[in-house]
């Protein structure tokens, strides 16, 4: 248990940051699912539009320290490849 005022403050701060980071990760996951759903239906226009929404969100996640840059690059690369493969 935290005894010093600073340790108590760090606990409060960590809880706030965890909530914010959780929301960021959730938003990224939701956008990725939209692309995957569009890919499943075979709708290239919707998939391409959703992919354009995912890219800046992934970059923002990297900038905020929520995602590793290689993870974001891998996700975006695989999604881009899948969207490009649609005829």
State the CATH number of the domain containing residue 10.
Answer: 1.20.58.110
Q: What is the pTM of this model?
A: 0.87
Q: How sure is the predictor about 54, in pLDDT bands with cuts at 50, 70 and 90?
A: very high
Going by the DSSP 8-state scheme, the letter that residue 86 receives in this structure is: -
**Residues 60-79, mean pLDDT to the nearest whole number:** 98
Q: How far apart are CA 48 and CA 14, in angstroms?
A: 36
Q: How far apart are CA 25 and CA 58, in angstroms?
A: 9
Q: What is the domain count for the chain?
A: 1
Q: What is the mean pLDDT of the chain?
A: 96
Structure confidence by residue, pLDDT tens digits, 2-35: 899 999 999 999 999 999 999 999 999 999 999 9
Residue ranges of alpha helices (H) inside 1-87 are 5-41, 44-63, 69-85
Which of 60 and 1 is assigned the larger pLDDT? 60
The pLDDT of residue 31 = 98
Domain that holds residue 63: 5-85
Quick one: which of 51, 53, 49 has its CA closest to 82? 51
| Beta strand ranges found along the chain (DSSP E) | none
């Amino acid at each position: 248990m935290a005894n010093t005022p600073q340790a108590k403050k760090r606990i409060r701060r960590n809880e706030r940051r965890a909530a914010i980071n959780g929301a960021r990760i959730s938003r990224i996951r939701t956008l990725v699912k939209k692309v995957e759903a569009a890919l499943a239906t075979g709708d290239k226009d919707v998939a391409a539009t959703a992919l354009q929404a995912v890219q800046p969100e992934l970059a923002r996640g990297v900038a905020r320290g929520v995602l590793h840059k290689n993870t974001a690059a891998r996700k975006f690369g695989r999604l881009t490849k899948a969207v490009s493969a649609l005829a």
